[in-house]
């Protein structure tokens, strides 16, 4: 199966990037956005035509914030915009429940989430190559038809991405850890810069810029994402709060007057007073433990493949996981 026509609803960064990638592969693309100027900008960039299609397209991509996916899908299906539908929202569980309850024909829909983005927003930030070799999650429901699933796989292939099938809840728990909580942490750190001295800004290096880069994201979109995945994000932040409490206790311990290390039991050839080893105080041990756990966590990312083709756990053509309809 190959896509000939595509509708993109929402011409922000992701929607316009999808449209540009599809146009590069010869697909006819129709664009719409509640902000008509955004749709016209995407059209000027070569992403497609800012006009309704003359007949139902093969696939419609709903590229709006999570809270709007279900109502936009229902309205699009009511006017028969497409034969099949998908979305690109970064939260799936709540959207899935709403669609199953309100969509005129949920068999024609499969949830999707390309794991790609930039710190900039809007159509002018879009790139046709944004999804190349990046993971694109699919979250089919129990009603999703094989035809809707296959058409969305075709779109993923056109964009050069790597499909991965997940349950909606498992997806939301994973992105809470890998995307949503990190965005909040970046924003918290970036917000501290407002209270910093002018000299501090001049001393900012690449490490700080790496930590705070994603804090530039659209605040309205991110508040919608965080609200839609609040429970899973709160769980991650609770664990971070516990770790942070331990770090604070360690730093207060180290900041207190007293020796930075204490001598251990005397032993021949030891380095401490009287031949004993020098034993770090508990605060230092806690910090080293946290830093070591951080190194191990980053190492796990290095071994995960990053969504590249051929990476373990990233099949290029996943099997259809649910019973299909039309």
The string of DSSP letters for 150-217 reads HHHHHHHHHTT-EEEE--HHHHHHHHIIIIIHHHHHHHHHHHHGGGS-HHHHHH--HHHHHHHGGGGS
Say which DSSP state 20 is in: H
- Give the integer Cα–Cα distance in Å for 179 and 224: 14
Exposed, middle or buried by CB within 10 Å (0-12, 13-18, 19+), for 278? middle
Q: What is the pLDDT of residue 286?
A: 87
The pLDDT assigned to 210 comes to: 87
**Residue in the block written with tokens 């190559």:** 129
pLDDT of residue 281: 65
Nearest Cα to 29, choosing from 82, 108, 89?
A: 82
Pairwise CA distance, residues 144 & 153, whole Å: 13
User: In whole angstroms, what is the distance from residue 109 CA to residue 187 CA?
Assistant: 34
180: its two tokens: 């949503």
Q: What is the DSSP string of 94-111?
A: HHHHHHHHH-S-GGGEEE
d(CA 293, CA 287): 10
Q: Measuring CA to CA, which residue among 79, 83, 113, 115 is closest to residue 96?
A: 113
Q: State how far the Cα of 90 lies from the Cα of 180, in Å rounded to an integer.
A: 9
What six digits make up the tokens of 234? 């709160």
The label of the residue with tokens 């696939």 reads 59
Burial of 64 (0-12, 13-18, 19+ CB in 10 A): buried
Structure-token pair, residue 97: 């429940």
Q: Estimate to the nearest angstrom the gap between the alpha carbon of 96 and the chain centroid.
A: 17
Cα-trace Rg, the chain: 25
Q: Smallest Cα–Cα separation from 129: which of 149, 111, 114?
A: 114
Tally of residues, the chain:
326
User: What is the model's pLDDT at position 51?
Assistant: 97
User: In whole angstroms, what separates CA 199 from the centre of its chain?
Assistant: 34
Query: pLDDT at position 316, please?
Result: 46
- The whole-angstrom separation of Cα 217 and Cα 302 is 25
d(CA 51, CA 60): 14
pLDDT of residue 280: 56
**pLDDT reported for residue 117:** 84
Q: Are 126 and 17 in contact (CB under 8 A)?
A: yes
Residue 307 confidence (pLDDT) = 52
Nearest to 115 by CA among 313, 248, 294: 313
Quick one: pLDDT at residue 261? 52
Digitized pLDDT (tens) for each residue of the chain, 326 residues in all? 589 999 999 999 999 999 999 999 999 999 999 999 999 999 999 999 999 999 999 999 999 999 999 999 999 999 999 999 999 999 999 999 999 999 999 999 999 999 998 878 899 999 999 999 999 999 999 999 999 999 999 999 999 999 999 999 999 999 999 999 999 999 999 999 888 887 887 888 888 888 898 898 889 999 999 999 999 999 999 999 999 999 999 999 898 876 555 555 544 444 544 445 555 567 888 899 889 998 888 888 776 655 544 333 334 457 676 443 33
Place of tokens 């038809």: 145
* Token representation of residue 191: 């917000």
């Amino acid at each position: 199966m190959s896509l000939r026509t595509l509708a993109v609803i929402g011409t922000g960064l992701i929607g316009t990037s999808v449209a540009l990638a599809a146009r590069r592969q010869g697909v006819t693309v129709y664009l719409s956005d509640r902000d008509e100027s955004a749709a016209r900008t995407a059209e000027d960039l070569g992403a497609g035509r800012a006009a309704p299609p003359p007949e139902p397209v093969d696939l419609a991509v709903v590229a709006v914030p999570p809270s709007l996916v279900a109502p936009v899908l229902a309205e699009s299906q009511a006017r028969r915009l497409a034969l099949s539908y998908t979305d690109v929202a970064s939260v799936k569980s709540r959207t899935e429940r709403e669609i199953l309850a309100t969509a005129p024909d949920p068999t024609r829909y499969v949830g999707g989430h390309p794991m790609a983005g930039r710190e900039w927003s809007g159509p002018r930030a879009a790139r046709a190559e944004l999804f190349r070799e990046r993971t694109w999650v699919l979250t089919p429901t129990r009603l999703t038809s094989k035809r809707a699933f296959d058409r969305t796989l075709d779109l993923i292939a056109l964009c050069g991405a790597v499909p991965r099938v997940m349950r909606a809840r498992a997806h939301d728990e994973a992105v809470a850890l890998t995307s949503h909580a990190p965005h909040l942490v970046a924003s918290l750190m970036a917000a501290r810069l407002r209270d910093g001295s002018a000299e501090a800004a001049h001393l900012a290096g690449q490490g700080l810029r790496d930590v705070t880069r994603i804090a530039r994201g659209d605040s309205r979109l991110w508040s919608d994402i965080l609200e839609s995945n609040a429970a899973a994000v709160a769980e991650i932040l609770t664990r971070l709060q516990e770790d942070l409490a331990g770090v604070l206790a360690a730093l207060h311990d180290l900041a207190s007057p007293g020796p930075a290390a204490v001598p251990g039991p005397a032993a021949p050839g030891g380095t401490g007073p009287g031949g004993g080893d020098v034993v770090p105080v508990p605060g230092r041990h806690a910090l080293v433990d946290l830093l070591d756990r951080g190194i191990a966590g980053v190492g796990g990312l290095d071994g995960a493949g990053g969504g590249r083709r051929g990476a373990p756990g990233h099949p290029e053509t996943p099997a259809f996981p649910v019973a299909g309809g039309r």
